[in-house]
Amino acid sequence: MTEQREVVIVRWPGQSTGVGSSEAAEPAELTGLAESFEDGLARLLAAYHLRTEAEKGVAVGGVGGLPGRYRAEISDPRAAFRDDVVLVALSGGVAVGCLVVAGPVGGRAEVKRVWTDPEFRGRGVASGLLGAALAWAADGGVSSVRLSVWEWRTGAIGLYERFGFVVTESWDGRERLVCMERAV
């Protein structure tokens, strides 16, 4: 039987979100995890990008075969997301999910890089991350949140719809990308 561990949503680097699927970790609790925390985030981002490229039918032999902007996120997430809010789900001190909120620009924020380690799916990790992102947006005076998702990720689309996102006109010209938005 697999041990069920509590999942905690934290705002990276180590600042509590104050919301999530359970009590948020205090920054002091995360001090000893700083290096493994960043490594965990990089691991999640690598899995996200590799899976996405594979789903798009792009043969990538590893992180080195990813486009440069994705490799930059993986190699130095702190620099890549310095102006963004990064939420990470932790279970037993291990990063099991992530979400990035870019912006806001003109009162609108954008959710990106939503990923849950496949071993932790079905436990509310993505819901906790999305809920924390929306709470952050509401607290920050953001008027709407948008995101884009590949049309074949029907589970993710269903999750976003449950959170009140609706399909909207595309702001991205890539084929098969669904753009969604919701008011905060």
Domain assignment present for 1: no
Expressed as residue numbers, the domain containing 15 is 7-183
Q: State the helix-helix crossing angle for 68-75 and 34-55, rounded to 10 degrees.
A: 160
Residue 86 · residue 12 · CB < 8 Å: yes
* CATH assignment of the domain containing 54: 3.40.630.30
Domain count, the chain: 1
This prediction has a pTM of 0.84
Per-residue pLDDT, 2: 45
Residue 163 has pLDDT above 90, yes or no: yes
Domain assignment present for 2: no
Domain assignment present for 18: yes
N residues, the chain:
184
Per-residue pLDDT, 92: 85
- Residues 6 or more apart whose CB falls under 8 angstroms from that of 107 comprise 141, 142, 143, 144
Q: pLDDT band for position 9 (50/70/90)?
A: confident
